[in-house]
Amino acid sequence: SRSLRLAVIPGDGIGQEVVAEGLKVLTAVLPADVKLETTEYDLGARRYHATGETLPDEVLAELKQHDAILLGAIGDPSVPSGVLERGLLLKLRFAFEHFLNLRPGKLFPGVDSPLAGNPAIDFVVVREGTEGPYVGNGGTLRTGTPQEVATEVSLNTAFGIERVVRDAFRRAAARPRRKLTLVHKNNVLVHAGHLWTRIFQQVASEYPEVTTEYLHVDAATIFFVTQPERFDVIVTDNLFGDILTDLAAAVTGGIGLAASGNINPTGEFPSMFEPVHGSAPDIAGQGKADPTATVLSVAMLLEHLGFTAESAAVEAAVAADLAERGDAVRSTHQVGDAIAARVSG
Ligand code: IPM
Ligand code: MN
């Protein structure tokens, strides 16, 4: 019989609540011969306050022994900004070389976009996950003085760019529309921008069947709102990808529906799946967070591990639930139960 060793990091705020529903759906959809072993890891604000730890080396070593990681949300107002984000979430993405941060932007039937006429939105953002301005390469000088200086230097390697650009081309070539958009800001960020553009063009020559375009990030934000149906696959750096995918969520029914996968395609390290949203401390513990983004992240997890039919079943169950959802206010549990019922029935 097959087995699936899953590490679960509920994290902070609504993380616990949404992850419980994700696991409910996962359990319901897995074939009977698959043995699901979950290990929950207590990481986040609670542990930080209790022990001062964010992600101890022993825990990182244990996490590595799993097939995948399901993460709820990280971040809490009681912890200084950046401590958990850098010390836990980004540390995981960097340590496990999650260079592929996949974030679908899909408007499901029945879901209302704030955009007039509910355009046909179905794209995927391939966000670089281990480089750019996220690496922490910078510092401050003359701290606390009027002459204080702060730098945050974006790191871009040819190796790091090429691996994510290649993945984006493979993905685009496998989709019906075969279109890939590079988003950057190469009119201003000329060093990194030109490296991205050059590598993109080199790889493009191997994919004549893929239509390519280049957009500056500011122009891309206009098209996300005025013409989102023009996008198929988008490849971009870590920070532009962060910003664009919140916008993508906003135009496809909101952050409660946006899923993501932090993927190490080589399989050397476990990939990690998480909703794009944060810990939402304002509604934590009230049972009203929408677990749909987590459930769709579970679908991405299944797909990544080769459970293709099960992944499709979860996505279909979510689509059916969304189509019938309307304006009804349902609890976190009710949404999870409804989707789980559809995949088991
Ligand atoms: C996200 C989040 C993170 C990011 C933060 C919490 C570090 O905004 O997953 O999009 O910037 O990547
Ligand atoms: Mn973000």
Residues 6+ apart with CB under 8 A from 20: 10, 291, 332, 336
As a CATH number, domain 1-104+258-345 is 3.40.718.10
- Provide the 3-class DSSP secondary structure of residue 294: helix
CB distance 8 to 40 below 8 Å:
yes
Is residue 242 in contact with ligand 1, taking CB distance under 6 Å? yes
- The domain covering 113-252 belongs, at the CATH homologous superfamily level, to Isopropylmalate Dehydrogenase (3.40.718.10)
Gap from CA of 89 to ligand 1 centroid (Å): 8
Domain map of the chain by residue range? Answer: 1-104+258-345, 113-252
CA of 51 from ligand 2 middle (Å) equals 27
Q: Which atom of ligand 1 has the smallest separation from the CA of 239?
A: 11
How confident is the model over 135-177, as pLDDT tens digits? 999 999 999 999 999 999 999 999 999 999 999 999 999 999 9
Contact 87 CB / ligand 1 (< 6 Å):
no
Identical topology for domains 1-104+258-345 and 113-252: yes
Average pLDDT over residues 75-87: 97
- The answer, as to whether pTM is greater than 0.90, is yes
Could you give the maximum distance between any two Cα atoms of the chain, in Å? 65
Residue 31 alpha carbon to ligand 2 centre in Å: 33
Ligand 1 near 12 CB (within 6 A):
no
Q: What is the pLDDT of residue 345?
A: 66
CA distance 299 to 184: 29
Residues designated catalytic = 134, 185, 218, 242, 246
Q: Which ligand is nearest to the CA of 243?
A: 2
Look at strands 68-73 and 2-11 and give their pairing. parallel
91 is in an annotated binding site: no
Q: Please write the tens of the pLDDT for every residue from 283-295.
A: 999 999 999 999 9
Name every residue whose Cβ is closer than 8 Å to that of residue 255 and which is 6 or more positions away in sequence.
Answer: 246, 249, 275, 276, 277, 293
